[in-house]
Chain A
Amino acid sequence: AQSVAQPEDQVNVAEGNPLTVKCTYSVSGNPYLFWYVQYPNRGLQFLLKYITGDNLVKGSYGFEAEFNKSQTSFHLKKPSALVSDSALYFCAVRDGGRNSNDMRFGAGTRLTVKP
């Protein structure tokens, strides 16, 4: 069965600094990987996905993520953080080798960007 771990409950960065939100995964087949962002009392918004191809994936709002198969990681990055990036970020994985709708979400990482 697939699973995903977000090792940090909280990440704090200063505005203008680069940010990284970590995610590691476990699947038996090929991983389909996703990042979502959630603002307070709102639904999740899709940021980006990795299905196949280039290991560096670019998404919405200047975010990108790097797929690393050997480290089974899919860390979310942004070169220069904004205060408005402060939110809850979720990593998710689906096993692409199975005909399944089963998507597993991490517990979330709360990002705080301070002015």
Chain B
Amino acid sequence: RKEVEQDPGPFNVPEGATVAFNCTYSNSASQSFFWYRQDCRKEPKLLMSVYSSGNEDGRFTAQLNRASQYISLLIRDSKLSDSATYLCVVNRRGSTLGRLYFGRGTQLTVWP
């Protein structure tokens, strides 16, 4: 079983829509959680960390459910510039500090 599983999509939504991505992780020892964003033919960049209590950064909201080993990302009022692939990422407790496990990514296209 893969460390991190994501629905690859694609998700195609109109501008202004709300869209949610989900991700599950297999190792209960996972400790830190992140969403990265990757634009086409570019490198991944950190979008936001995911905290146990949930956290928000502008139009983006991340949630963590440790009991279900489930992470989500909600994007409100989608913009054309949100079109990208969103990578779910976890760090396992006890692993080499800094080592991250990446999901395959969920592709989002926002259309006018």
The answer to whether A and B come from one shared complex is: no
Residues of B within 8 A of A (CB): none
